[in-house]
Amino acid sequence: MADKQIGLLVMAYGTPRNIDEIEPYYTHIRRGRKPTPELLDTLIERYKLIGGVSPLSRITEEQAEQLEYRLNERHANVTFKAYVGLKHIEPYIENVVQQMKEDGIEQAISIVLAPHQSTFSTDSYNNRAHEESEKIGGPAITSIDSWYSEPSFLDFWSDRIRDTFDQIPTEAKAHTIVIFSAHSLPEKIIQMKDPYPGQIADNAKLIAERAGIAHYTTAWQSAGRTPEPWLGPDILDKIRELHKEGYTSMIFCPIGFVADHLEVLYDNDYECKKLTDELGIRYYRPAMPNTDPRFIEALACAVEKKLI
Ligand code: FEC
């Protein structure tokens, strides 16, 4: 008898693959509103500062391939077939659901390459996948809402933090703080009882306990350039506040992201680093999950929980 086939819909944010794709990508993020020339230039400058293009599309592909490989390795009677569907650039989530149907996939599991659940984030990915499958009559998709508490994911960050502490001079260790950060979202999510802020706080606590760290805090980064209020405290304000409290070394853990990309390579490694340099603070930013085996394991375990 042929193996049971399961589609693995791996969804991620997406990134422009060259300079010409930046404007349509930005327009899509802004729900169809073209950015002003000033906003566009600022974004192009940020991409230039990280080398012209983001490594995100390559990393997303590798993460999906490795997840597929790991699952196939340990499930003898099931064949997992990974499909990458993106939020803001081709191949869009909808096109990939159509592709799965054309390929004869009847059953699929969807996972978003972002650990925490939010209406503005993971729910919007999953809703788009479900709406398309309902429209075209399949495949049946089972979605993972969030996976931040997977033990291997907690191990990944706590090991990274311990390794980073080892690099800090002994006399500076007592004045070191870990800053866990995630992408800010509009403040109205608090009234909407969105799970996102609570999950970030819980994730930070779980990692801090595992790593055995004395001082940690949370902050929001990369807020949108819109007039509405966004979740705070912003990470740059947080750095200034912690400096006043006497911290001299800071370990930045952007736990809301899982890869090297603009929001980490620019917002953390350029903007936060510039400020810590000005204030005379030591800046540490452990390597991102990318294709680390502990991270791939966390994704695989989250998928396995949805297997019937
Ligand atoms: O190209 C790259 O390497 C970076 C890709 C990238 C990731 C990412 C992750 C998240 N975002 C989230 C929410 C928002 C909201 C807005 C918003 C705006 C941008 C802009 C760029 C961008 N995001 Fe993003 N985000 C990435 C890139 N993001 C570029 C536009 C310029 C700017 O404002 O910086 C505001 C939209 C608006 O204006 O209305 C909201 C969330 C995540 C983490 C979860 C996920 O990965 O889906 C949440 C990667």
Residue 2: the pLDDT is 56
pLDDT in tens, 185-222: 999 999 999 999 999 999 999 999 999 998 999 999 99
Tell me the pTM.
Answer: 0.97
pLDDT band at 93 (very low <50, low <70, confident <90, very high): very high
Share of the chain above pLDDT 90, in %: 97
Residue 12 identity? A
d(CA 23, CA 34): 8
Residue 136 has pLDDT above 60, yes or no: yes
State the pLDDT confidence band at 226, using cuts at 50, 70 and 90: confident
Q: How far is the CA of 254 from the centre of ligand 1 (A)?
A: 14
Nearest-CA residue for ligand 1 atom 18 is 224
Q: Average pLDDT for residues 56-70, to the nearest whole number?
A: 98
Per-residue pLDDT tens digits for 228-254: 999 999 999 999 999 999 999 999 999
Flag whether pLDDT at 83 surpasses 70.
Answer: yes
32 to each of 23, 156, 219, 237, 290, how far by Cα in Å?
A: 11, 37, 29, 31, 30
Tell how far the Cα of 74 is from the centroid of ligand 1, in angstroms: 34
Q: What backbone phi and psi angles, to 5 degrees, belong to 95? A: -65, -35
Among the residues of 50-110, which ranges form H helices? 56-74, 93-102
Beta bridge partners of 119: none
Ranges of H-type helices in 212-247: 235-244
Q: What is the overall mean pLDDT for the chain? A: 97
pLDDT digit string (tens) for 150-199? 999 999 999 999 999 999 999 999 999 999 999 999 999 999 999 999 99
Q: Which of 148, 183, 266, 267 to mutate to test the pocket of ligand 1 (most atoms within 8 A of CB)?
A: 183
Tokens representing 95?
Answer: 């096109």
Test site for ligand 1: of 262, 265, 266, most ligand atoms within 8 A of the Cβ: 262
Contact assessment for residue 93 and residue 125, using Cβ atoms and an 8 Å cutoff: yes
Domain boundaries, the chain: 4-147+292-304, 151-284
Pocket test for ligand 1, best of 31, 181, 184, 222 (most atoms within 8 A of CB): 222
Q: Is the pLDDT of residue 30 over 60?
A: yes
**What is the residue with the minimal CA distance to atom 1 of ligand 1?**
15
Residues with CB under 6 A from ligand 1: 13, 15, 26, 29-30, 43, 54, 56, 114, 120-121, 183, 185, 222, 224-226, 256-257, 261-263
Q: How far is the CA of 286 from the centre of ligand 1 (A)?
A: 21
Q: Which pair of structure tokens corresponds to residue 6?
A: 């399961």
Distance from Cα 16 to the centre of ligand 1, integer Å: 12
- pLDDT for residue 3: 78
30 CA from centroid of ligand 1 (Å): 10
Give the model's pLDDT for residue 263: 98
Candidate of 263, 270, 271, 290 to mutate for ligand 1, largest count of ligand atoms within 8 Å of Cβ: 263
Could you identify the residue written with the tokens 């049946």? 140
The dihedral region occupied by 222, where left means phi > 0, alpha psi between -120 and 50, and beta the remainder, is left
- 8 A C-beta contact, residue 283 and residue 91: no
Supply the residue whose CA is at minimum distance from atom 34 of ligand 1: 224
Whole-number pLDDT of residue 78: 95
- Could you read off the pLDDT of 117-134 as tens digits, one per residue? 999 999 999 999 999 999
pLDDT of residue 37: 98
Exposure on the CB side of residue 71, measured as CA atoms within 13 A = 27
pLDDT digits (tens, 9 = 90+) for 277-301: 999 999 999 999 999 999 999 999 9
Domain 151-284 fold is: Rossmann fold (3.40.50)
The answer to whether 10 and 63 are in contact (CB under 8 A) is yes
Distance (angstroms) between ligand 1 centre and the Cα of 214 equals: 31
- Which residue, by CA, sits nearest to atom 21 of ligand 1? 26
> What tokens does 223 get?
């807020």
How far CA 274 is from CA of 164, 179, 182, 207, 281, in Å, comes to: 20, 16, 19, 26, 10
Same fold? 4-147+292-304, 151-284: yes
Which of these CATH numbers, 3.40.50.1400, 3.40.630.30, 3.40.50.720, 3.40.50.300, describes 4-147+292-304? 3.40.50.1400
Please report which confidence band the pLDDT of residue 27 belongs to, taking 50, 70 and 90 as the band edges. very high
- Please name every residue paired with 124 in a beta bridge, in sequence order, or none if there are none: none
7-26 average pLDDT score: 98
